[in-house]
Amino acid sequence: MTIKTRFAPSPTGYLHVGGARTALFSWLHAKKNNGTFVLRIEDTDIERSTQESVNAILEGMQWLGLDYDEGPYYQTQRFDRYQEIIQQLLDQGDAYYCYCTKDELEVLREQQMANKEKPRYNGKCREITDSQEGMNRVIRFRNPIEGEVVFDDLVKGRIVVANKELDDLIIARTDGTPTYNLTVVIDDMDMGITHIIRGDDHVNNTPRQINILKALGADLPYYAHLPMILGDDGARLSKRHGAVGVMQYREEGYMPEALLNYLVRLGWSYGDQEIFTQEEMIELFDISKVNVSASAFNTDKLLWINHQYIMNSDPELVVKHLEWHMLQRGIDATTQGPDLVDIVKAQRERSKTMVEMADASIYFYQDFTEYDAKAAKKNFKQGTDDVLQTLLDAFTALTDWQGETLHKLVLQIAEQLELKLGKVAQPLRVAVCGTGMSPSIDVTLSLLGRDKTLARLQQAIDYIKENKS
């Protein structure tokens, strides 16, 4: 049997971390089994579905590298097929028209609530055989009354629901459009989905969907319902926890590889291993080992993993992300300034996010006229201009612009001026970077290059002369 999984988002918002984890688990399960991963956009709710959300989902999947083998399929392009199945169910007697009005159903609901019963349709129209056209009518699935639905959820274990707990679900609205529980069943059947991996907010739909599948004579898929993701305060994950669309994580400087690594561990573990290469994830992931209980989203942990990825990934990969962040800052680092690979190597230890790395690398590419106020106050004193002038003279005379030579020269000048190294290196750093923080001074100067270093030293000397005399 070829394993086939699917991710079936409704395009009513961005791709959030919960959805991304569902997509990841479905993707991993397919990849692990040399199967097929399908993307299906469930856009039948015309009022709430938007093209923007579709784009956001596609963009999120692409950024995360969750490539699909089939799709995207759009449910709105499959209405004919849904109508065909609705007709089939009617013809078979597995569906019927229901003429109950909204008011009638409301009264029924109120009565049931008053009697402390679970609100459910009472089957009033179940036996009406003559079709009354022209009336407002929905179509309901004729759920079996006897027996029970049993399925072995790969995460939750055996689930048993008595049919008498399930009422006759509406499969087509008064305007004839099909409802979620029907379209999802038809698609899963037609697309040959073998494993349905989805959030456990759908677990109550599953027995109904199984009954429809049975009525259609379809093979039943396996189900795996994933427990919710909670915020670190135990409440359901929401915007309040900073849990927004996955693209927001890009904005905030997370690497997609790190976010995926974090998400795979949300509800699944392999011993106490925290970092997984993509190959390891695929090899080791086991849907039946997913935790039954909800997992809590922990931003500190995500940040830690992100830093691990920034430090330990192939620098070329980090460059790809840094390039994007530099462009966000109006800097095309591919056409000017130091090679980004060298920037990554110089900055990765100190950068927990790509935002930190990009922000701390702007001065390598862009000149500035203002200094970080604190750093300037602390390091630019009366007389610092003389120290910088000595450095400028020495650097101007230097022909070999290499880290080691530069390092030696700065040491030598500190000795010559009878100053501690920090009293020379720190003003030099502020002069050339505009701030008090940068990689080691030799690395900083060699990345910056001779011309920028000399020009910025001159600029700082002028600045100090003007402000401190």
Site of interaction with ligand GLU (CB under 6 A): 8-10, 42, 184, 198, 202
Q: How far is the CB of 231 from ligand GLU (least distance, A)?
A: 20
Query: Are 348 and 361 spatial neighbours (Cβ–Cβ below 8 Å)?
Result: no
**Distance (Å, rounded) from C-alpha 75 to C-alpha 56?**
17
Tokens of 213: 């599948």
State in angstroms the smallest separation of the CB of 449 from ligand GLU: 52
314 torsion bin: left (phi>0), alpha (psi -120 to 50), beta (else): beta
**CB nearer to ligand GLU: pick between 13 and 403:** 13
Shortest gap between Cβ of 457 and ligand GLU (angstroms)? 59
Give the residue with the Cβ less far from ligand GLU, 184 or 428.
184
Q: Assess contact for 221 and 195: CB atoms under 8 A.
A: yes
Structure tokens given for 74? 């759009």
Helix axes 256-264, 51-64, angle to 10 degrees: 90
DSSP character string of 24-90? HHHHHHHHHTT-EEEEEE----TTT--HHHHHHHHHHHHHHT---SEEEEEGGGGHHHHHHHHHHHH
Of 53 and 351, nearer to ligand GLU (C-beta) is 53
Least distance (Å) between residue 196 CB and ligand GLU? 6
CB of 193 or CB of 443, closer to ligand GLU: 193
Q: How far is the CB of 198 from ligand GLU (least distance, A)?
A: 4
Of 12 and 92, the one with the shorter C-beta distance to ligand GLU is 12
The CB-of-71 to ligand GLU minimum distance in angstroms stands at 13
**Shortest Cβ contact with ligand GLU: which residue?**
198
C-alpha torsion sign, points 271, 276, 278, 280: negative
Taking the least distance from each CB to ligand GLU, the nearer of 203 and 448 is 203
Share in percent of the chain as helix, strand, coil (round to 5): 50, 10, 35
Nearest to 79 by CA among 107, 45, 44: 44
